[in-house]
Structure 1
Amino acid sequence: MITTGITPSFVRGAAELETTARGLRPHRLPTWVRTRFPDPQLLMAEGQPSGVRLVLTTTAEVLEVVVHPSRVVYRGADRPRGSLDLVVDGELLQSDELTGGSYTEVDMSTGAGSLVDGPSHVGVFRGLPAGPKVVEIWLPHNESVELVELRTDAPVLPHRSDKPVWLHHGSSISHGSNAATPSQIWPAVAARAGGVELHNLGLGGSALVDPLTAQVMRDSPADFISVKLGINVVNMDSMRLRSFVPAVHGFLDTIREGHPETPLVLISPIFCGIHEDTPGPGAFDPASFGADQVKFIATGSPDGVAAGQLTLRVIREALASLVSRRAEDPNLHYLDGLSLYGAADAESHPLPDALHPDTVSHRLIGERFAEYAFADEGPFGQVNAAETVS
């Protein structure tokens, strides 16, 4: 077997790569953001490499990748491990569930945590198709990893793509919560269908109209952009209507400083029954502790809407109105999240934890977004066609 060190040239979808004692740790937000605002939830989310992948060309038929995972475990809640996905020439062929690594075990009742160390993980993929091919190893969306090395039975080279880049920001749903494996999160599904390169800034618990995130998006290369806002603002009860609408205007204005004419889609929240008409804050449902599936509840009161508290219904109306009042921007588009996953979908494919879609629903959302955005007459269709032709 040939051993190849993992260098930045193999990595796609990360903002930065931190050098560690073991190798490289992908980050989805740059150092300056992590330094200015070292919020624990944000740091955990950006350190989980959702949408980040190793991309290479090779004739190898056996491939091993060594990584060292790090994760957070909640006592009493058995959450699935992350996975490495093998995608060859655009097709998902194999998934490898992580083992070992380091983890912090958190007591949900007290918030106290303890660190446990374990061995690195070796992902083994055999039976790859013969001949030259483009291989992608999608990194786990729900665990941080350090990239150590590749082992193959034939040489590997980094692969560079000329596909257009889609930059997306959203909440834990865009991050991939409840999807089984990293290439099955809805932005990855949509990116494959649209034939584009994904740069995913889905940040679990952290889509809070942060100016820092808007500045990162302003400075990131992108051929088209989407922003999905609402659910985190509601389930953290972090804003009132009066502050939310101007904040979104400012968020979009910042992006436009770097991308004045790039097609941009503002997406409102998908259906979530607990928050449709009930404000946050959201919380773990104590009645579900110790069960197979921990669930979420809304702890606010519908009466709070009159005082400016936000629900998903209020946010959808506000975002639709906001886009209509920015008519001077012909490349700004509004997409109602209910068209991606609505009340009828919740009946046939319920949210397992009352907040996040499962793998089937991630695929549904991704396919529907691709049908909307990458259609010939869609907001990304003409740009995609132009890039493809060129």
Structure 2
Amino acid sequence: MKRIARLISIALLSIVLFYSCDSSDNTTDPNPNPDPGGEPTEATTTLINTLSIPWELTWGPDDFLWVTERSGKISRINPDTGAQDEILVINEVAQVQESGLLGMVHHPDFDTNPFVYAVYTYEGTGGLLEKLVRFTYNDNNTLTNETTLLDGIPANSTHNGSRLIITADQKLVMTTGDAGDTSLSQNMNSLAGKILRFNLDGSIPNDNPITGSYIYSYGHRNPQGLTLHPNGMIYSSEHGPSNDDEINRIEIGKNYGWPNIQGVIDTPNEEAFANTTQTVESIYNWTPTIAPSDLVFYTQTRIPQWTNKLIMTVLKNQQIVALTLNNDGTAITNEEIFFNGAFGRLRDIAVSPTGRVFIATNGNSYGDTSNTHRIIEINRIESQ
């Protein structure tokens, strides 16, 4: 009997020890931010690590993270637990190299107009094309009623732009790349290599610079970042060829020079071209290139080192860059680098209204198509 009693005691002790320890190999806390207002214990937290090439990451009006994956999937992700809820797969999406389901943005009055706008590439006559669409979000947590606002935009396996924002005056702004054809950026009969501007119903605003045209600015190569300053200025990050990645301050009706001008105007040929066009120089450049991706203007104080700066994710150089603007927003006066090489290629950045920062990764090398890409929360900046 004593031996039986001893075995029972050992079994009970084993049960207690089992439930008091983490039996999983997953070191990520399943609820990493139970108190978002408190001081985090770690500088960063991996929220989810099972995505396949996330492209757009945005904070939704429902206080969830919304993410597109290039294969055609849209999901909602709980920002505290990492639970992923797939709400749509777009079967028409054609994913070839860098193409696929790309940009996404929510209607600013989502409670009344539960619309989600997205950009994706599809197989058209003669090859890839790009379209801007709108979905309706329903109470059963699905996206339905796909409505095409504009299609037939030139696309390719690379250089598709596709970032979306909505301005304070409720205009939808979209970037397009040159689709691998440098002649299209200066061609005003093509929507490639442009920044486009729409009313939220997809129509052309009356105050666009060219009557009857979506074109807002032109002469772009592959702008993949787009953000608003609180004063209404629009800034874009743009991929150069092997030189002159750019930050541009977007002005209505202006020409940003590609392919005739790369970066600043500093050669006789570029000066000659600028003299005959309304060309605007970039306000910052990188040579060699770093592959800039998404861009936000961080107004909050949760990460004080980034307050009132442009914050940009970087693909090739695998870093976050903080850029300080001068007082009138016409020049960048300082560049700081954070998390250099810490997470691999960084595709996108999202910020909550309280200043929580999340980044989407795209693997450790170009062309990494594994299903192990991550969303990481930046809780704080440690000493540099």
What is the TM-score normalised by the length of structure 1? 0.25
The structure with more helix, counted as a fraction of residues: 1
Higher alpha-carbon Rg: 2
Task: Report the TM-score when normalising by structure 2.
Answer: 0.26
Q: Which structure has more RCO (C-alpha within 8 Å, separation ≥ 6)?
A: 1
